[in-house]
Amino acid sequence: MAEGMNRRIEADIFPTPNQAPPAKPAPSRPPSANSLLPMLTGAPGPLSPLAGRRFLMTVAREAAPGQARPLADEMAFEDALAFAGHLAALDLDVVLAAVGEAFTPDDLRLLSRIPGVSAWNGGPVTRPQTDAAACVRELQTVADGVRADLILLHDPALAAARRDPRPTVVFCDASRIADWRRQHPHQASRLAPGDVQAASALERLGLHAADRVVAPTRAFASELVAAHGLTLPPSVLPPVFRKSEFHERRANDAAFIVAGAAIADPIDLQRLDRAAGQICGQTLLFDTKLSVADGESVRGICLENAHGLEPMGVAAAEALLLRATAFYSVATGTSFERLVWRAACTGCALILPDTRANREFWQGAAHFVEAGSETALAAALRRMLEDDDYRRRTAAAGLRRARALTGGPAIAGLHKLLASALGAAPLTGALQVP
């Protein structure tokens, strides 16, 4: 719950909260094959603490006018739908509310295919960064309208001025202040730019206000604790609820490397470009956070050796990975990189910067290179292109690890977390999966 100081701040800014709606009767639902899920996945039973409950879940839907949504956002939305589907498979009712922009017809078509999952039809919730007071009012309206038993938020800023008494779980997979602290380890947080500090203030209030906080990696959870002084470490649950489709590899018609991530540091991009000039195969690069790109430039960096790819959808990205010789992730942060997991699912050999988060999930299943070493990166790219046996063994290890991350362990951890948030089961310490 929020600390006393945060509550006083909220009381000065926001009106008195409405009373929670009366408890609704559990909806009648015929027994389904979904009730067998715990036996199939290892999720703890019985289901009675969760069955028949209604969860409100927020998802980000944003796009620049006239532009497609970036690949990273589309992957996050697909994963959110898969997450909602797993909740519904636990005999829950799940209502999704869009934050930022309204659901598109394509979004609603995808939603309609998931039994037990529906969309809030009262319009999108205002982003808290745009208008925190409006966000609180609208979120309260949605929660009251759907008679939610529990609220799941994709962004801690949504809980920054929380006034709803219902249990609230915040899933946090990005932090601007944590990123800034990592990039400036010898500077105090108060020296961060104003926009970073503003985002940090909302983030801090939301994290302290939530009943449960979930982070995608242990490394990122540690950064949240250090940046915001959390007394209870976040539970760790990687976002791999999406149904895995492990494809057959296609024969390579040419050797090439695919590189990608939500690139933030131009230095990493320049380093990759120089390393690409030291190998025989072609290096293709796409930035998952951009909705527009130039083949010879990415984020204003002129490419001399690598080639920047035009923005693409999830299906096109996976089709490219199925043909790639290897995949290199440019990201050096501590969060969970969805694109790495998808590359592993296609049987693509992984080359990853040697970071805490990458070791946490991909130890023994990827070729690690020293972060910041152009020479080590060029050697790794060259080995993947020239050593077929090593590449096949690395790819097979990554595929095994991707399968191990998917399904049972994550669902079991999710069930335990949600039951504890509803007060149906105790949660001692922080949940760790895997």
Q: What is the DSSP string of 4-54?
A: HHHHHHHHHHSPPPPPPPPPPPPPP----GGGGHHHHH---S--TTTTT-E
Burial of residue 338, with CB atoms counted within 10 A of its CB: 0-12 exposed, 13-18 middle, 19 or more buried? buried
Q: Any idea what the CATH number is for the domain that residue 51 is in?
A: 3.40.50.2000
Q: So what's the pLDDT on residue 159?
A: 92
Q: So what's the pLDDT on residue 28?
A: 39
Integer Rg of the chain from CA? 22
Rounded to whole angstroms, the Cα distance separating 309 from 246 reads 24
Rounded to whole angstroms, the Cα distance separating 68 from 64 reads 8
Rounded to whole angstroms, the Cα distance separating 10 from 319 reads 48
Q: So what's the pLDDT on residue 218?
A: 92
Instruction: Tell me: do 159 and 195 sit in the same domain.
Output: yes
Q: Which helix (H) or strand (E) holds 113?
A: none
Sign of CA dihedral 400, 353, 259, 278: negative
Rounded to whole angstroms, the Cα distance separating 80 from 90 reads 16
Q: So what's the pLDDT on residue 251?
A: 56
On whether residue 26 sits in a domain, the answer given is no
Rounded to whole angstroms, the Cα distance separating 152 from 82 reads 14
Locate 277 and state its tokens.
């000039």
Give the residue ranges of the chain where pLDDT is below 70: 1-48, 63-67, 241-254, 261-264, 289-300, 407-410, 424-434
Residues present in the chain in total: 434
Rounded to whole angstroms, the Cα distance separating 108 from 106 reads 5
Rounded to whole angstroms, the Cα distance separating 357 from 363 reads 10
On whether residue 434 sits in a domain, the answer given is no
Hey, how many other C-beta atoms are within 10 angstroms of the C-beta on 154?
Answer: 18
Q: So what's the pLDDT on residue 250?
A: 56
Instruction: Tell me: do 210 and 270 sit in the same domain.
Output: no
Instruction: Tell me: do 324 and 412 sit in the same domain.
Output: no
Integer CA distances (angstroms), 372 to 24, 269, 299, 361, in order: 56, 11, 19, 20
On whether residue 136 sits in a domain, the answer given is yes
Instruction: Tell me: do 228 and 278 sit in the same domain.
Output: no
Instruction: Tell me: do 273 and 189 sit in the same domain.
Output: no
Closest CA relative to residue 146, chosen from 58, 261, 249: 58
On whether residue 433 sits in a domain, the answer given is no
Instruction: Tell me: do 83 and 137 sit in the same domain.
Output: yes
Instruction: Tell me: do 216 and 110 sit in the same domain.
Output: yes
Instruction: Tell me: do 340 and 195 sit in the same domain.
Output: no
Cis peptide upstream of residue 46 (ω within 30 degrees of 0): yes
DSSP state for residue 125 in the 8-state scheme = B
Q: So what's the pLDDT on residue 76?
A: 87
Instruction: Tell me: do 273 and 398 sit in the same domain.
Output: yes
Q: Which residue has the tokens 């959808």?
A: 313
- CA max distance for the chain: 67
On whether residue 148 sits in a domain, the answer given is yes
Q: Which helix (H) or strand (E) holds 353?
A: strand 349-353
> Torsion-angle region of residue 392: left (phi > 0), alpha (psi -120 to 50) or beta?
alpha
Rounded to whole angstroms, the Cα distance separating 245 from 232 reads 36
The domain total for the chain is 2
Q: Which residues contact 249 (CB under 8 A, 6 or more apart)?
A: 322, 346, 347, 395
Instruction: Tell me: do 217 and 312 sit in the same domain.
Output: no
On whether residue 429 sits in a domain, the answer given is no
On whether residue 284 sits in a domain, the answer given is yes
Locate 408 and state its tokens.
């049972």
Q: So what's the pLDDT on residue 39?
A: 31
Q: Are 366 and 351 in contact (CB under 8 A)?
A: yes
Look up the domain containing 355 and give its range.
256-404
Q: What is the pTM of this model?
A: 0.81
On whether residue 202 sits in a domain, the answer given is yes
Instruction: Tell me: do 67 and 156 sit in the same domain.
Output: yes
Instruction: Tell me: do 198 and 265 sit in the same domain.
Output: no
